[in-house]
Amino acid sequence: KAGVTQTPRYLIKTRGQQVTLSCSPISGHRSVSWYQQTPGQGLQFLFEYFSETQRNKGNFPGRFSGRQFSNSRSEMNVSTLELGDSALYLCASSFWDRALYGYTFGSGTRLTVV
Partner 1 sequence: AQSVTQLDSHVSVSEGTPVLLRCNYSSSYSPSLFWYVQHPNKGLQLLLKYTSAATLVKGINGFEAEFKKSETSFHLTKPSAHMSDAAEYFCVVSRNTGGFKTIFGAGTRLFVKA
Q: Please state the closest distance from residue 43 (CB atom) to partner 1, in A.
A: 4
CB contact at 8 A, 78 and 18: yes
Q: How many CA atoms lie within 13 A of 55 on its CB side?
A: 14
In 3D space, the residue among 78, 79, 103, 77 whose CA is nearest the CA of residue 91 turns out to be 103
Establish if 42 lies at the interface with partner 1 (CB under 8 A).
yes
Contact 45, 110 (CB under 8 A): no
> Is residue 13 involved in binding partner 1 (CB under 8 A)?
no
Give the nearest distance from C-beta 11 to partner 1 in angstroms. Answer: 14
Instruction: Of 110, 107, 112, give the one whose Cα is nearest residue 24.
Output: 107
Among 24, 46, 76, 108, binds partner 1 (CB under 8 A): 108
In the complex, the smallest distance separating the C-beta of residue 32 from partner 1, rounded to whole angstroms, is 13
Q: How many residues bind partner 1 (CB under 8 A)?
A: 24
Return residues touching partner 1 (CB under 8 A). Answer: 4, 6, 33, 35, 42-43, 45, 48, 55-56, 90, 92, 97-100, 102-108, 110
